[in-house]
């Protein structure tokens, strides 16, 4: 059954230079137990997409629909969403969160603060221990202050915080960025274990190799749009969008020659999309690409590219 159904989601931020079209007309469907990876260059709208789902945008206007287990979460009152969804069914590991742990409180106090915010009335000690255990940390960390923990431990703590109320769906925004390779591998292994236990993730990353480990589905974002969406297998084996192809070719391999890179830079999100967002950088552009491409169905999702109009 589809538990997350995002339809035509758009987010516009106000700015002194005009509206920023940070997310434009995004569709995503996820079935129970599935996880999705969102990949794309910096500033293409990945975090905005995640923050929209958990309704934590700092500003901006949002359009479209997000259904979570058939409930329209954008239509709920803030109190209803906070009471029943945020942290309980949907939680988030925010980008850079491990550096935002409060230096003057112990980890235990910070866990209790979350429970207080969410009016938790059960056995809080046990709940915190469960969360700490689920990320393979020793309960001694609870007595410590953030500066007494390593980067990997802090990242586990913020993941445990997101898992505290046992949500079904966790949005993890760059959870492995800024960690060394060994710790990255540990965090990925942890997410894989949690996934096996039934949790679903929306994993945001620049790193396609990381996604291949976790994601059943992948959304490739470019200039605020998902330009290609499908199963991981299809996206890796049979990428359709020239941008997806370029991204995959830019991954260094041990065997191959030097990786290719995509020339040029991403479009300004200050311009409303009227042409293909990738037009300026696309090696396969045709005249038609000056018009905004529709989402064309592929074997397992969709692609926003005129090259597939007749296929």
Ligand X SMILES: Nc1ncnc2c1ncn2[C@@H]1O[C@H](COP(=O)(O)OP(=O)(O)OP(=O)(O)O)[C@@H](O)[C@H]1O
Q: What is the binding site for ligand X (CB under 6 A)?
A: 13, 15, 20, 22, 42-48, 58-59, 95, 269
* Angle (CA) 126 129 133, round 5°: 140
Radius of gyration of the chain (CA): 20
CB of 47 to ligand X, least distance (A): 3
Provide the sign of the torsion angle of the four alpha carbons 182, 184, 188, 194, taken in this order.
positive
* Angle (CA) 104 109 113, round 5°: 110
Q: Quote the CA–CA distance of 18 and 244 in Å, as a whole number.
A: 29
CB of 125 to ligand X, least distance (A): 36
Identify which of residues 44 and 142 has a Cβ nearer to ligand X in the complex: 44
Identify which of residues 23 and 149 has a Cβ nearer to ligand X in the complex: 23
Identify which of residues 204 and 307 has a Cβ nearer to ligand X in the complex: 204
CB of 274 to ligand X, least distance (A): 18
- 266 alpha carbon, distance to own chain's centre: 19
- 61 alpha carbon, distance to own chain's centre: 19
Identify which of residues 239 and 267 has a Cβ nearer to ligand X in the complex: 267
Identify which of residues 60 and 131 has a Cβ nearer to ligand X in the complex: 60
Provide the sign of the torsion angle of the four alpha carbons 99, 100, 104, 108, taken in this order.
negative
Identify which of residues 111 and 243 has a Cβ nearer to ligand X in the complex: 243
Dihedral, CA of residue 173, residue 177, residue 180 and residue 186, to nearest 10: 20
CB of 297 to ligand X, least distance (A): 25
CB of 52 to ligand X, least distance (A): 9
In the chain, what is the straight-line distance between the N-terminal and C-terminal CA atoms, in Å?
28
CB 184 within 8 A of CB 205: no
CB of 273 to ligand X, least distance (A): 13
């Amino acid at each position: 059954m589809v538990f997350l159904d995002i339809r035509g989601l758009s987010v516009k931020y106000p700015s002194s230079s005009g509206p920023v079209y940070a997310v434009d007309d995004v569709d995503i469907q996820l079935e129970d137990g599935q996880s999705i990876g969102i990949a794309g260059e910096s500033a293409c709208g990945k975090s905005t997409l995640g923050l929209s789902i958990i309704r934590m945008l700092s500003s901006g206007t949002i359009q479209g629909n997000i259904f979570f287990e058939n409930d329209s979460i954008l239509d709920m009152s803030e109190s209803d969403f906070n009471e029943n969804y945020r942290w309980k069914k949907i939680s988030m590991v925010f980008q850079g969160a491990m550096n935002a742990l409060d230096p003057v409180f112990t980890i235990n106090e910070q866990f209790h603060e979350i429970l207080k915010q969410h009016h938790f009335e059960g056995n809080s000690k046990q709940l915190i221990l469960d969360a700490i255990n689920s990320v393979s940390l020793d309960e001694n960390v609870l007595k410590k202050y953030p500066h007494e923990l390593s980067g990997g431990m802090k990242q586990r703590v913020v993941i445990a915080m997101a898992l505290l109320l046992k949500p079904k769906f966790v949005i993890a925004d760059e959870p492995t960025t800024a960690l060394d390779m060994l710790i990255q591998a540990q965090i990925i292994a942890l997410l894989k274990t949690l996934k096996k236990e039934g949790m679903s993730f929306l994993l945001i990353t620049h790193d396609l190799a990381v996604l291949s480990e976790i994601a059943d589905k992948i959304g490739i974002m470019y200039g605020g749009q998902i330009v290609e969406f499908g199963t991981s297998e299809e996206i890796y084996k049979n990428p359709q969008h020239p941008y997806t192809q370029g991204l995959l070719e830019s991954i260094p391999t041990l065997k191959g020659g030097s990786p290719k890179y995509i020339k040029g830079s991403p479009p300004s999100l200050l311009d409303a999309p009227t042409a293909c967002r990738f037009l300026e950088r696309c090696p396969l552009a045709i005249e038609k690409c000056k018009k905004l491409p529709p989402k064309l169905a592929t074997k397992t999702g969709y692609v926003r590219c005129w090259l597939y109009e007749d296929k």
